[in-house]
Structure 1
């Protein structure tokens, strides 16, 4: 019988591509992880990794062994986590990645109620608009939109991911009425540059009746942050395209108005992602249920819809 610890070291090394990455995940030293994997290889009588100075690569035997043990390892870990609770309550560190806007404006305000219900959970929340490797980086869950769905990860839809055009009342009053998408070409555009790619993404407008139209804004300036774009738009500097979760408070205050209110950009869905396992850790299960409950109670799906 191989030790649970050695198998875990092997799986985390395979997922992370290095002993150092596995060591960070397991709170061990890279030397300890490497030694544990070497002992496992000696006992099995096969080489599991091809080692180089830059990265570990699984051998054919290693790939077969990983397929056999990885899901079982997670099931065992989840079972242990569910049993190791305080009087049956969910317990442990809850590592979650979430988009900055949705996280700061809508999820963090729920933190007090969540901890009131589950006081033995320790939040470890990361705010980033980039997709994370949910399993490889050891996240329990992630919230966001526009992510590819890797094997072994499931998504529960929370709300539509719509973007809308906004501008200040003063700016709109000073220009001829914008009645059709083609009218945007004469407007000053406050464009959003992706912080990941450095490029300004091209979008297509969708009418509430399903018709499509061009989105061609004359570039007046570019920003890499939606908040900065809204602040610029509030000064009457142009028309900005921002996500609905961020636009909601600006629209509610009247500081910004929708431009072409029958048109929007459909960017998929905002979802909560977690590993696909029959036996989820209690901390993950209650978090997923809590977020779905709160989105329904606060009608965030309707509020985030541009239709």
Structure 2
């Protein structure tokens, strides 16, 4: 009797024409996927793939076998997810992508409570400032903003991502507070260069009346991470534009003050992304619900709204 791991390794390798992509999808190493497929071939007594240095190609036997088991495999996976959910025992590796700043500040502190409730789940979280391919890279979920909703991916909005202008009280001590975004051009700026485009990000801010105005502090310090922008501002090095969740704790403590408080920029919503399946793995379903419930109970959408002034 073949194991589910061997069959999954074969199907994913066939779908992606390689062991490396299949390994990312399954949360395994390429060597482990290759061993699983080799074991399956040995047990069946047939060669399923033609192997080359560039890619895998199904043999005639491999094509027939894939056609025979693919739909059945999806059914077995769904049945396992359903049974695990009915038992109330979600299990397995939960692979999630999060931005370093937002993930560390607002999601990581929820982990003790989550694991206490679901002790059979193992955590595999990656903190990175990039948009991942959930399906190709084998992620159960991703939390962040600005993801493209590729086919098969859905999102659940958690909170707005509003951008506001901030600086330290020490930096502003001998300076006049700006009343609108245009006034930011008089100050040293801590700005962010996009890793994807290589360009410095510029924002257009708006107020409650719907008026719009560009925000362009001097490009005095250029970094590529929101956490670095925030810490540079706390150190009194200039003015920066941050998402409210990245600035919230320091605004509450007084380490940062908000400038042009009636103005903010829209950066799209902060959402949790996951695959659109009829039966999600129980671990993914309970994680999505746990995070969404936390944001709702603590009214974080309201706290993260820059429109509050």
Question: TM class by shorter-chain length?
Answer: 0.7 to 0.9
Report the equivalent of 2:276.
Answer: 276
Q: Determine the C-alpha separation between the residues in 2 that align with 1:71 and 1:304.
A: 44
1:206-263 deviations in Å (ceiling 9; x for gaps): 2233222112221111122222222222232211111211100111011111111111
What pairs with 1:152-191 in structure 2 (closer than 5 Å)? 152-191=152-191
Q: What does 1:1-307 align with in structure 2 at a 5 Å threshold?
A: 8-14=8-14, 16-23=16-23, 25=26, 28-30=32-34, 33=37, 53-55=53-55, 73-84=73-84, 87-307=87-307
Structure 1 pair 162–74 and aligned structure 2 pair: CA distance change class (3 A): farther
- CA distance in 1 between partners of 2:68 and 2:304 (Å): 42
Q: Structure 2 CA distance, aligned partners of 1:18 and 1:175?
A: 59
List alignment gaps of at least 5 residues for structure 2. Answer: none
Kept in 1: contact 2:190–2:238 (CA 8 A): yes
1:17 CA displacement: 4.5
Cα displacement (A) at 1:147: 0.6
Measured after TM superposition, the shift of residue 133 of structure 1 is 1.4
| Pairwise CA RMSD | 3.4
* Contact 2:177–2:259 under 8 Å retained in 1: no
Displacement after TM superposition at 1:162 (Å): 1.3
Asked whether the 8 Å contact 1:101–1:246 carries over to 2, the reply is: yes
Equivalents in 1 of 2:75, 2:116: separation in Å? 28
Cα 1:190/1:53, change in 2 over 3 Å: same
Shift of 1:70: 6.4
In structure 2, the CA distance between the partners of 1:6 and 1:171, relative to structure 1 (3 Å rule), is closer
Q: Tell me how far apart the structure 1 counterparts of residues 201 and 124 of structure 2 sit (CA, whole Å).
A: 31
What secondary structure does 1:174 align onto?
A: coil
Residue pair 2:162, 2:266 contacting (<8 A) in 1 also: yes
Give the TM-score taking structure 2 as reference length: 0.82
Cα separation, partners in 2 of 1:34 and 1:203, compared to 1, 3 Å = farther
Shift of 1:104: 1.0
Q: Deviations over 1:153-195 (max 9, x none)?
A: 1100000011111012232232233123222222111111224
Aligned in 2, Cα 1:29/1:293: closer, same or farther, shift over 3 Å?
closer
Q: Which moved more, 1:150-159 or 1:131-140?
A: 131-140
Counterparts of 1:56 and 1:209 in 2: how far apart (Å)? 59
Q: Which moved more, 1:133-142 or 1:25-34?
A: 25-34
Q: Cα–Cα, structure 1 residues 89 and 222, in superposed 2: closer, same or farther, change >3 Å?
A: same
Count of residue pairs the alignment pairs up: 298
Return the offset for 1:82: 3.7
